[in-house]
Amino acid sequence: MSNENLMSKRWLIACAGVVIQLLLGTVYAWSVFVKPVMAAHGWSQAEVAVVFMIIIGTIGVSAAFGGILVDKKGPKFAATTGVVLYGVGVLLGGVALKMGSIWLLYIGYGVIAGIGNGLAYVVPIATLIRWFPDKRGLITGLAVMGFGLGAFFIGKIVPGLIVNIGVANAFFALGAVYLVGNSLAAMVLRNPPAGWLPDGFTPSASTVSAADSFSWAEAKKTPQWYMIWGMLFLNVSAGMGLLSKLSPMAQDVYRVAQGITDPAQLAILGGGVLATASIFNGLGRLFWAAVSDKIGRKNVFLIMFATQAALYFYLPSVTSTLIFTIIACYLLACLGGGFAVMPAFAADSFGPTYIGKVYGFVLTAWGAAGVIGGLVFAKFTVQPALWTASALLCCGFLVALMFTRPKHVSHYRAKTP
């Protein structure tokens, strides 16, 4: 295939990657299901909160294996395996809600869907980094923008869907859409030819080339890999905790600020805040990734950590629904921005050749953060939880400040990738 055809083909692959991320990202809208699930079965908020912690924790762990799978078997196989498991897991979530079994919900939606989501999540990122070395930040931002926007559509669609067909049937409908749509998109994914570069592109000397890429065995011996892991963990811990409670928190602000007490109206208003903020979760991924191409990945993280720390500290005192929504939009834009900038940060630091495995293991930070962030927001009242998130982000700022790109010296070399 000519280079001109390959240049066109990579944009088709990029579109398929965005579709997969969009449907996988619907997992972020769990908070719109919380109150309907509690009302349908009489489960406590703590019991239902465990579902989100399980699925996010499972996603983070399985993403590491998705990285291994995409490097060994290729993107089509890895993505198809993941999206089928995700669709089946969501369908099993519907079965669990029909039966009234929270343990099946934990296993089906939490574990099985989480494994599938994690396996599939890393595939478009690793694939597009290889296809777009000339637009590394922008393209990873575009890919994971879909993941952030997935919750927007669910936030808008699901409240009405639940009213019309019930929460269990909503799971069945969504599971079928995920299974079919993602499977079709996964069939498009493939790697570029070995050594391929876009026309007129010369790799920058400030990044690690494909030939000099760190293998996983080499990368894990550098302190920088653990610093990148820590930065993602701290950013996501704050954001995932907020996301897990955003709709109920927004409902509380509406109740206090406007005196609204009707549960159905509050649920719609809370879902609206989640949907609006989720737009910025998606747009923030594209915005911060594009900015990182201009000012550098490290500088973007410094800005995000500093501004978020201040806003999380301030948020408990907010009583205006408008100000609450604006702050929530910015905080989720930074959550999404971290996910968008980090793949390019890792590829700049360790090279693109083994990025599936190297970045896949970085994503275990996502799983750990989903559990920690969820626990903080589940166990603490609002003010201590938000202030704890602020403290975590201050730590992230210090880690980012100390980061320097690793040197690929001889004692990091290993015999096998």
- pLDDT per residue as tens digits for the range 225-242: 999 999 999 999 998 888
Q: How far apart are CA 197 and CA 263, in angstroms?
A: 56
CB hemisphere CA count around 96 (13 angstroms): 22
Q: How far apart are CA 124 and CA 78, in angstroms?
A: 10
Structural Rg of the chain based on CA atoms:
21
* CB-based contact 341:231 (threshold 8 Å): no
- Average pLDDT for residues 163-174, to the nearest whole number? 89
- Average pLDDT for residues 350-378, to the nearest whole number? 80
Residue bearing the bigger pLDDT, 142 or 87: 87
Token representation of residue 408: 């690929």
Q: What is the mean pLDDT of the chain?
A: 85
- pLDDT per residue as tens digits for the range 64-85: 888 888 888 889 999 999 999 9
Q: Determine the pLDDT at residue 204.
A: 62
Say whether pLDDT at 410 is over 50: no
- pLDDT per residue as tens digits for the range 262-315: 887 887 888 788 878 878 887 888 899 889 988 989 999 999 999 999 999 998
Say whether pLDDT at 103 is over 90: yes
Enumerate residues 6+ apart whose C-beta is below 8 A from 160.
Answer: none
Q: Determine the pLDDT at residue 301.
A: 97
pLDDT tier, 408 (very low <50, low <70, confident <90, very high otherwise): low
CA end-to-end span of the chain, whole Å? Answer: 29
Entry field: residues in the chain: 417
Q: Determine the pLDDT at residue 255.
A: 84
C-beta pairs of 11-14 under 8 Å, 24+ apart in sequence? 12/188, 13/127, 13/128, 13/131, 13/188, 13/189, 13/190, 14/128, 14/131, 14/132, 14/139, 14/142, 14/143
Say whether pLDDT at 414 is over 50: no
CA neighbor of 292 nearest in space, from 417, 400, 178, 158: 400
pLDDT tier, 318 (very low <50, low <70, confident <90, very high otherwise): confident
Place of tokens 């026309």: 199
Phi, psi of 381 (to 5 degrees): -75, 175
CB atoms near residue 144 (< 10 Å):
32
CA neighbor of 228 nearest in space, from 338, 131, 353, 102: 338
CA neighbor of 20 nearest in space, from 178, 163, 182: 182
pLDDT tier, 167 (very low <50, low <70, confident <90, very high otherwise): confident
Q: Determine the pLDDT at residue 205.
A: 58
Q: How far apart are CA 169 and CA 148, in angstroms?
A: 24
Whether domain 11-193+212-411 has CATH 1.10.230.10: the reply is: no
Q: Determine the pLDDT at residue 114.
A: 94
Q: Determine the pLDDT at residue 8.
A: 75
Helix (H) or strand (E) holding 19: helix 3-24
Token representation of residue 373: 């962030």
Q: How far apart are CA 241 and CA 23, in angstroms?
A: 21
The DSSP output letter for 210 is S
pTM score of the predicted model = 0.73
Q: How far apart are CA 417 and CA 411, in angstroms?
A: 15
* Per-domain boundaries in the chain: 11-193+212-411
Token representation of residue 73: 């078997």
3-state class (DSSP) for residue 259? coil
Q: How far apart are CA 406 and CA 265, in angstroms?
A: 53
- Average pLDDT for residues 172-177, to the nearest whole number? 93
